[in-house]
Amino acid sequence: MIRRGNLSPVTLELHMTLNRTRTHLLQALSSSALALTVLCGLSVSVAQASCGFIKDSDERALCRAKERKSSGQCGFIKDRDKKAYCRAITGSGSGQCGFIKNSDLKSRCRAETGSGSGQCGFIKDSDERALCRAKIKKNSSQCGFIKDSDKKAYCRAITGAGSGQCGFIKNSDLKSRCRAEAR
């Protein structure tokens, strides 16, 4: 340690400036390390966080159930059809699809739980039918048949083009779902 009585005023000022600089550097380094830790932590859980941005509570729970590959989140879904769909695609199997009253969702459920893309042909909505076929076949060629630009970008993202396509989606819930599913 340096004794202040032995130092000239200029040397003392220089010493104090160096101490302040060292303190600021240490603070900057520690906050940089914290920022790096936070950023690394966020990069691991981006998909998990994306589901949290979905406003519709049923869709948020469905997203989390798909992401975790667990039916635990399905219990939070109020809509009976979506709840049965959620349980079917997260492990309970196609038997749950029989509880769905909405014919389009029932067909999508059966297609996603092993009955194949042939079930997609029973979906009345042409955009949903093409999306179903693209998801089941894991092929983006069907995405070109989708008229809705948000659904088309979502389709391309989840069938291989990557999450960059999600940025083109205007609907905030679909954008969040897209970011969670397109990894």
Domain coordinates in residue numbering, the chain? 8-42, 53-123, 125-178
Which residues make Cβ contacts (< 8 Å) with residue 180, sequence separation at least 6? 47, 48, 50, 51, 63, 66, 67
CB atoms within 10 A of CB 153: 24
Residue with tokens 């893309």, as numbered in its chain: 117
Ranges of residues in the chain whose predicted pLDDT is under 50? 29-45
pLDDT for position 31: 44
**Structure token digits, residue 155:** 């389709």
Cβ atoms 119, 111 nearer than 8 A: yes
**DSSP label at residue 3:** -
pLDDT for position 13: 73
pLDDT digits (tens, 9 = 90+) for 127-151: 999 999 999 999 999 999 999 999 9
pLDDT for position 32: 44
pLDDT for position 51: 95
**Structure token digits, residue 28:** 């900057």
pLDDT for position 183: 74
Q: Which residues of 62-81 are buried (b: 16+ CB within 10 A; e: fewer)?
A: bbbbbbeeebebbeebebeb
pLDDT for position 49: 74
pLDDT for position 40: 43
In this prediction the pTM is 0.72
